[in-house]
Amino acid sequence: MATPKGQIATWRIYPESRNGAFYTVRVFRTLGAMRRYATRIGHDSFARCAGAAICYRRELYTRGRFTCVSHEWGEILLAVRRLTTRIIAHECSHAVVAWMQRQGFTLDLSDTGNASPGEERFAYAQGDLVSQLVAGCYHHQLLTPGTQ
């Protein structure tokens, strides 16, 4: 696929192992460019969003069953002028929830005194995605120290 119009950076982030599932991060010059891209790939519900986590899984149906053909589980779309740690964490949360559901584990928050195994896995995956996304933003010079 050709580089989407208005995209200024792209990289991958991984919820757990760097050999497993990943999300593609796409940062656009403007919010309009980000929204046009989302609409072009069939997600026009993001018309009023400051960012987007589009979650999917590429599968091929052959011989009566689905087979995963890619470890890519979605895209996180951001606009450089709306690039804040709040938006980054928000979109990473959507991505982790989708990843968690596909992994088949649940998030049990009933015991407030102790973290469940699912809660720990969620928290580490969330931290890993946010950390990698922020590091990518610094690498591409999209964030500067002190960005909120």
Give 61-87 pLDDT, tens digit per residue.
677 776 666 678 899 999 998 899 999
Rounded to two decimals, what is the model's pTM?
A: 0.84
Q: Kindly give the residue spans of alpha helices, DSSP state H, lying in the chain.
A: 31-40, 85-103, 117-139
Q: How confident is residue 60, by pLDDT bands cut at 50, 70 and 90?
A: low
Q: What's the CA gap between 87 and 124, in Å, rounded? A: 18
Question: Taking the CA of residue 78 as centre, how many other CA atoms within 13 Å lie in the half-sphere pointing to its CB?
Answer: 29
Q: What's the CA gap between 121 and 15, in Å, rounded? A: 9
